[in-house]
């Protein structure tokens, strides 16, 4: 039996810097632990450092391993100079330019590959840098399995928690519906606009962007896209805006801001994510499909430039009968961001 509650406890432990166990690996998170915790976790100073493939490639360590899979995590041997401060520098790309690398570092054969991959996934879910000290022995606050993480992320656990009329600036005839699972703190929301008229609704999947949605950031197109989506759905007669709590394409606000800091050093949005050790897009649109199902809609017209959203919904059983482009004029701050979407992530712009 998988236990999503155990995953919630593991996330809490990681955010507080305590060790957890996933399957065969005891894991201490680099971002939130400290040198004292490391000494207690690994008194002999032998636990290697677990990093993502993207991070290891950035550090020129990926080519050392014999891994069959290019995305497999990488274990870095615990050389005497790999102390807590050095681990932090290896984990956090913001320090790449500031920290002269000591080294040399050596990649070890990966043990417990599935558990190691699950650890990196859990770091992303917890909004932390994907880096751990990892060893078979060692005390842990909580023990989980990779299946427990799947259960925690299982969109079928989503239910409607509350609904109410919500007139908004660009759609006075609207209703808000909130969805949640027992363990995830962020509630997803649907804004139902207009009255169903027998046609497939015009649907927009909007991923949370605090900087763009609430603060008017000019670095991306999220704020204007959100605004325009509500207007377009209203003008179309009826439809649904899904507001998904997938900040930073699923890496969380803090990691997105780290990506922004890397962008200030000249990396684009794709390379910034890779240097941090994350997938280019960590979102799972199964949650959106589940929300549409709970709202009784299995056929939609989708407002997007992103083919991955169409594919994601269709893979989860929603028929997308039409893709409606959703392009807003660029500004001087987001021109490069939009060009990267077009040139590197397959957006149809
Ligand atoms: N990791 C990361 N996330 C970003 C960055 N800029 C914006 N985001 C996030 O990207 C998401 C915006 O995605 P969407 O508005 O769904 O846009 P999209 O996937 O490009 O697709 P469409 O707009 O539908 O064509 C939000 O969660 C933002 O927080 C960035 O530089 N790095
Ligand atoms: Zn944005």
Residues 275-309 have pLDDT tens digits of 999 999 999 999 999 999 999 999 999 999 999 99
pLDDT tens for 63-82 read 666 655 778 999 999 999 99
pLDDT tens for 318-343 read 999 999 999 999 999 999 888 898 88
> In the beta sheet, which residues pair with residue 301?
202, 322
Ligand 1 first shell, C-beta below 6 A: 206-209, 220, 222, 225, 246-249, 251, 256, 259, 269, 273, 304-306, 309, 326, 341, 347
pLDDT of residue 319: 98
Q: Whose CA is nearest to atom 31 of ligand 1?
A: 269
Atom of ligand 1 at shortest distance to CA of 273? 1
pLDDT of residue 202: 98
pLDDT of residue 86: 94
pLDDT of residue 101: 67
Where is 146: in which H helix or E strand?
helix 146-153
Nearest to 78, CA basis, from 120, 41, 112: 41
Residue 294, Cβ neighbours under 10 Å: how many? Answer: 14
Active-site residue identified among 154, 281, 342, 344 = 281
The rounded distance, in Å, linking the Cα atoms of 93 and 211 is 21
Q: What is the dihedral of CA 348, 284, 229, 209, to 10 degrees?
A: -100
pLDDT of residue 63: 64
The rounded distance, in Å, linking the Cα atoms of 116 and 113 is 5
Binding residue per annotation — 217? no
5 burial class (0-12, 13-18, 19+ CB within 10 angstroms)?
middle
pLDDT of residue 97: 79
pLDDT of residue 104: 87
Nearest to 310, CA basis, from 322, 327, 298, 295: 322
Instruction: Please determine, for residue 100, whether its predicted confidence score (pLDDT) is greater than 90.
Output: no
CB 167 within 8 A of CB 173: yes
Instruction: Please determine, for residue 263, whether its predicted confidence score (pLDDT) is greater than 60.
Output: yes
148 is known as an active-site residue: no
Instruction: Please determine, for residue 115, whether its predicted confidence score (pLDDT) is greater than 80.
Output: yes
Instruction: Please determine, for residue 119, whether its predicted confidence score (pLDDT) is greater than 70.
Output: yes
Binding residue per annotation — 222? yes
Q: What is the pTM of this model?
A: 0.94
pLDDT of residue 62: 65
Q: Give the number of whichever ligand sits closest to the CA of residue 323.
A: 1
- Give the mean pLDDT of the chain: 94
302 burial class (0-12, 13-18, 19+ CB within 10 angstroms)?
buried
Instruction: Please determine, for residue 237, whether its predicted confidence score (pLDDT) is greater than 70.
Output: yes
Comparing 117-126, 253-262, 324-333, which segment has the lowest mean pLDDT?
A: 324-333
Query: What values do phi and psi take at 344, rounded to 5?
Result: -120, -20
DSSP string, 148-210: HHHHHH-GGG-EEEEEEE--BTTBSSEEEEEEE-SS-SSPEEEEEEE---SSPPEEEEEE--H
pLDDT of residue 203: 98
Distances (CA, A) of 48 to 39, 126, 209: 13, 22, 35
Instruction: Please determine, for residue 35, whether its predicted confidence score (pLDDT) is greater than 90.
Output: yes
Establish whether the linkage from the previous residue to 318 is cis, with ω within 30° of 0: no
Atom of ligand 1 at shortest distance to CA of 226? 15
Binding residue per annotation — 248? yes
% the chain with pLDDT above 90: 85
Pocket test for ligand 1, best of 127, 130, 204, 207 (most atoms within 8 A of CB): 207
Residue 34, Cβ neighbours under 10 Å: how many? Answer: 12
Instruction: Please determine, for residue 105, whether its predicted confidence score (pLDDT) is greater than 70.
Output: yes
Q: What is the mean pLDDT of residues 93-120?
A: 88
Q: What is the mean pLDDT of residues 74-100?
A: 90
ipTM above 0.95, yes or no: yes
Strand, helix or coil for residue 246? coil
Q: What is the mean pLDDT of residues 100-128?
A: 92
pLDDT of residue 69: 77
Distances (CA, A) of 275 to 58, 339, 340: 6, 20, 16
281 is known as an active-site residue: yes
Q: Whose CA is nearest to atom 19 of ligand 1?
A: 306
Q: What is the mean pLDDT of residues 136-161?
A: 95
pLDDT of residue 66: 61
Atom of ligand 1 at shortest distance to CA of 204? 24
Binding residue per annotation — 205? yes
What's the DSSP call for residue 293? H
């Amino acid at each position: 039996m998988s236990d999503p509650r155990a995953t919630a406890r593991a996330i809490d432990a990681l955010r507080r810097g305590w060790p957890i166990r996933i399957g065969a690996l005891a894991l201490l998170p680099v971002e939130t632990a400290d040198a004292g915790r490391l000494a207690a976790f690994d008194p002999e100073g032998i636990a290697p450092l677990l990093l993502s493939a993207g991070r290891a490639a950035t550090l020129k360590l990926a080519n050392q391993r014999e891994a069959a899979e290019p995305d497999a995590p990488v274990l870095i041997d615990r050389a005497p100079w790999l102390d807590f401060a050095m681990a932090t520098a290896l984990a956090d790309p913001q320090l790449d330019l500031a920290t002269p690398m000591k080294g040399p570092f050596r990649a070890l054969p990966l043990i417990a590959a599935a558990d190691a991959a699950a650890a990196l996934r859990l770091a992303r879910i917890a909004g932390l840098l994907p880096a751990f000290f990892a060893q078979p022995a060692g005390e842990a606050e909580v023990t989980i399995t990779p299946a427990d993480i799947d259960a925690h992320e299982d969109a079928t656990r989503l239910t409607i928690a509350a609904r109410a009329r919500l007139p908004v600036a660009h759609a006075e005839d609207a209703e808000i519906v909130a969805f949640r699972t027992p363990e995830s703190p962020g509630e997803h929301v649907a804004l139902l606009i207009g009255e169903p008229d027998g046609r497939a609704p015009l649907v927009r999947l909007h991923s949370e962007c605090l900087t763009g949605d609430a603060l008017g950031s000019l670095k991306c197109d999220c704020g204007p896209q959100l605004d325009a989506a509500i207007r377009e759905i209203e003008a179309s007669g009826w439809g649904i805006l899904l507001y998904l709590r997938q900040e930073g394409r699923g890496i969380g606000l803090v990691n997105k801001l780290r990506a922004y800091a890397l962008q200030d050093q000249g990396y684009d949005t794709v390379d910034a994510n890779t240097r941090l050790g994350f997938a280019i897009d960590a979102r799972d649109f199964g949650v959106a499909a589940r929300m549409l199902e709970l709202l009784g809609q299995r056929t939609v017209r989708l407002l997007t430039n992103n083919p991955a959203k169409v594919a994601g919904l269709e893979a989860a059983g929603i028929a997308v009968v039409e893709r409606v482009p959703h392009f807003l004029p660029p500004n001087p701050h987001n021109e490069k961001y939009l060009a990267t979407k077009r040139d590197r992530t397959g957006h149809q712009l």
